[in-house]
Amino acid sequence: MAEFLAMGGYGAYVWSSYTIAALVLGVNAVLARRAERAVLHALAHDLNGDDDDATA
Amino acid sequence: MFAFLHKYASLMHFYRLSARWSGWLALATALLMAYGLYGGLVTAPADYQQGDSFRIIYIHVPSAWMSLFVYMCMAGAGAIALVWKIKLAEIWLRASAPLGASFTFLALVTGSIWGKPMWGTWWVWDARLTSELILLFLYLGIMALDNAIEDRRTGARAAAVLTLIGVVNIPIIHYSVEWWSTLHQGPTVSKLDRPSIHIDMLIPLLVMAFAFTTFYFAAALARVRGGILAYDRNTNWVRDLVGRGTVRGHG
Amino acid sequence: MTPRRKRLLIICLSVAGLAIAAGLILTAFEKNLMYFYSPTEVAEGAAPESRPFRLGGMVVDGSILRQPQGLGVFFTVTDYAHERVVYYEGILPDLFREGQGIVANGQLNDTGVFVANEVLAKHDENYMPPEVADAVAAGKARSGASDGTPAGNL
């Protein structure tokens, strides 16, 4: 396990690369899902707002 | 033929059809990523010259390939948007830009981290690195331009024009290592010759490239679906979908 | 011509035009885009005489001479047509060794020695495990090739 982490002496370089990748992809995944939901919520909000005003 | 394509270009149809794809793409990404990471970090043998530092390749190369692939997708979408004015193309282009920029950033950063121990420097202004950096600026410029323009459709079209102008950078990036003397070495896989990488090292690389690709499509699709709802906000189908009491997102 | 065809044509022509323009600009700037000069180019006088430039080549086997004191080292680089002696004081990158490609930043001195202030290692596009590398090297040695390691082309 220690060998695995050490990566032949290059551990810092290898693991920082993989960590940054995980962060970048993770943030993209979260933001993408949020974008979809945000639109749905915003539109639901608008719709409900319109219905409240309807009198006819 | 166009009637068939137009059905897919219909935002409502695409939204309905794509509902299941997201799940499958996410699952595929997870499985491929797990398999690729295990292969790259554990089973692939260390390189005779670079030792274990070469394992950065499993992030760096897929990212670099995706930075180019996503741009080409955007260029295709941009051309379709400009010529045929298909809304779905506009939405796809806009959704892809942050993903392409992320891949480019990742390629540059992991490349830099890899270069320090192997080359002895974090950065050089050779043709390969410089043109990839230009690609990052292009992506950011496209996103900024789109954001700066009020009208959604005009913004997308401006972004499409800028994307197409920048397409010339793509072959420059790829052939930079052959056209000019560079510190960055020549292609290992994407060349007409046999790949100059051992098969045990190559397979995880291809798996990771595949994983990054499904990731792109999964993430882009999520953004596209949101974009479709925004574009068609005043249509009945969207009002029905949204006004059904519960807000249907992904649980 | 329909408006759509017109748009298509304009786009195609614009992209083509830009590609041509970029091509012309790049060929004009080619010299500046070349990251390094080869020993042959230096021998032919293509490299600057009194300004820093970059020299790229393979380290010749047996040419590495470390100074008894300090970090100074002499070595020779070749492009298999011409050679050039390099002098460098400083820490060399991990990959620096005989038969390896390098790119050195520096200047020619009066005696034609390239005095470097930076030496970077350049590795090739081949990736293989050590056993395979050894097998390749052994194979080359058997067939009498002059450089025994598969390390690096320029």
The closest alpha carbon to A21, from B106, B194, C139, belongs to B106
CB contact under 8 A, B219 and A32: yes
Residues 46-105 of B with CB under 8 A from A: 46, 51-53, 55-56, 59-60, 63, 98-99, 102, 105
Taking the CA of residue C11 and the nearest CA in chain B, the distance in Å comes to 8
What ipTM describes this predicted complex?
A: 0.89
B-C contacts (CB, under 8 Å): 113
From chain A, pick out residues whose CB is under 8 angstroms from the CB of B227. Answer: 39
Region C85-100: mean pLDDT is: 92
Taking the CA of residue B54 and the nearest CA in chain C, the distance in Å comes to 9
pLDDT digits (tens), chain B, 251 positions: 566 566 567 898 899 888 889 889 999 999 999 999 999 999 999 999 999 999 999 999 999 999 999 999 999 999 999 999 999 999 999 999 999 999 999 999 999 999 999 999 999 988 899 999 999 999 999 998 888 888 888 999 999 999 999 999 999 999 999 888 899 998 998 887 888 999 999 999 999 999 999 999 999 999 999 999 999 888 888 888 887 644 444 44
CB contact under 8 A, B183 and C120: yes
CB C95 within 8 A of CB B49: yes
Residue A43 inside a domain? The answer is yes
CB contact under 8 A, B113 and A16: yes
Residue A17 inside a domain? The answer is yes
pLDDT band, very low/low/confident/very high, at C150 (cuts 50, 70, 90): very low
Query: Closest residue of B to C37, CA-based?
Result: B181
CB C101 within 8 A of CB C123: yes
CB B175 within 8 A of CB C33: no
Dig out the tokens for B158 from the structure. 């401006």
How far apart are alpha carbons B88 and B82 in whole angstroms? Answer: 12
CB contact under 8 A, A10 and B59: no
Residue C108: partners with Cβ closer than 8 Å, 6 or more residues away: C42, C47, C49, C114, C115
Dig out the tokens for C44 from the structure. 């032919």
CB contact under 8 A, B222 and A33: yes
Q: Which of B54, B71, B74, B83 to mutate to test the interface with C (most CBs of C within 10 A)?
A: B83
How far apart are alpha carbons C109 and C85 in whole angstroms? Answer: 11
Residue A1 inside a domain? The answer is no
How far apart are alpha carbons B81 and B95 in whole angstroms? Answer: 14
* Chains adjacent to B (≥3 CB pairs closer than 8 angstroms): A, C
Residues C5-59 have pLDDT tens digits of 777 777 777 777 777 777 777 776 666 677 899 999 999 988 887 889 999 999 9
- Residue B19 neighbours by CB distance under 10 Å: 13
Residues B78-115 have pLDDT tens digits of 999 999 999 999 999 999 999 999 999 999 999 999 99
In the 3-class helix/strand/coil scheme, how is chain B assigned residue by residue? CHHHHHHHHCHHHHHHHCHHHHHHHHHHHHHHHHHHHHHHHHHCCCECCCEHHHHHHHHHHHHHHHHHHHHHHHHHHHHHHHHHCCHHHHHHHHHHHHHHHHHHHHHHHHHHHHHHHHCCCCCCCCHHHHHHHHHHHHHHHHHHHHHHCCCHHHHHHHHHHHHHHHCCHHHHHHHHHHHCCCCCCCCCCCCCCCCCECHHHHHHHHHHHHHHHHHHHHHHHHHHHHHHHHHCCCCHHHHHHHCCCCCCCCC
Find the CB nearest B223 among A16, A36, A40: A36
Residue A40 inside a domain? The answer is yes
Residue A38 inside a domain? The answer is yes
**pLDDT, position B195:** 87
Q: Which domains does chain B have, with CATH numbers?
A: 19-43+51-238 (1.20.120)
What is the extent of the structural domain holding A18?
A: 8-53
The closest alpha carbon to C88, from C114, C57, C52, C126, belongs to C114
**pLDDT, position B206:** 96
- Residue C7 neighbours by CB distance under 10 Å: 16
Contact of C123 with chain B, judged by CB distance below 8 Å, is answered with yes
Find the CB nearest B225 among A28, A31, A36: A36
Residue A3 inside a domain? The answer is no
Quote the mean pLDDT of chain B.
Answer: 90
Domain total of chain A? 1
Residues C121-133 have pLDDT tens digits of 998 889 999 988 8
Residue C60: partners with Cβ closer than 8 Å, 6 or more residues away: C75, C76, C77, C78, C83, C98
From chain B, pick out residues whose CB is under 8 angstroms from the CB of A21. Answer: 59, 63, 106, 110
Amino acid residing at B14: F
* Chains adjacent to C (≥3 CB pairs closer than 8 angstroms): B
Residues 153-192 of B with CB under 8 A from A: none
Query: Closest residue of B to C99, CA-based?
Result: B49
Residue A29 inside a domain? The answer is yes
Region C139-149: mean pLDDT is: 64
